[in-house]
A = this chain, B = another copy of it.
Amino acid sequence: MTRCERHGLVVGVRPEKREEYLALHAAVWPQVEATIVAANITNYTIFVHGDLLIAYYEYVGSDHASDLAKIGEDPVTRRWWELTDPCQVPVPGALPGQIWADAQEIWHLDGKK
């Protein structure tokens, strides 16, 4: 098992924008993906259930906040977010200005690899 920080996130998807969000994620821009990889994020998956999006990723760098900030400096990623942000609606309890809300890990089991 790679040593890593595990992150779980949750956000709502606006029902009228659900299909648009899914279509965008069927073909995420290569530069958006490359920027995430460069930020030491790995094994990143987004799931949908009804009007709820959940995400899981593993962070394998040494400064998560700094790496997230670097993602936000990428101009292509910022254009991508101009498309995805209007599809999303924060869940109750999300921090002001936050779209995806961070969930807190309460249990982990490695199992087989």
Contact surface of A with B, Cβ cutoff 8 Å? 1-2, 6, 8, 10, 22, 25-26, 28, 33, 36-37, 40-50, 52, 54, 56, 60, 91-93, 101-113
Contact = CB atoms under 8 A, between A and B. Distances in A.
B113 A2 contact: yes
Contact of A111 (B10, B43, B103): B43
Nearest to A112: B42
Given A25-B107, A44-B108, A49-B101, 6 more contacts: A22-B106, A41-B109, A42-B112, A43-B109, A45-B107, A45-B108
Contacts of A25: 106-107
Given A50-B92, A112-B42, A112-B60, A107 B8 contact: no
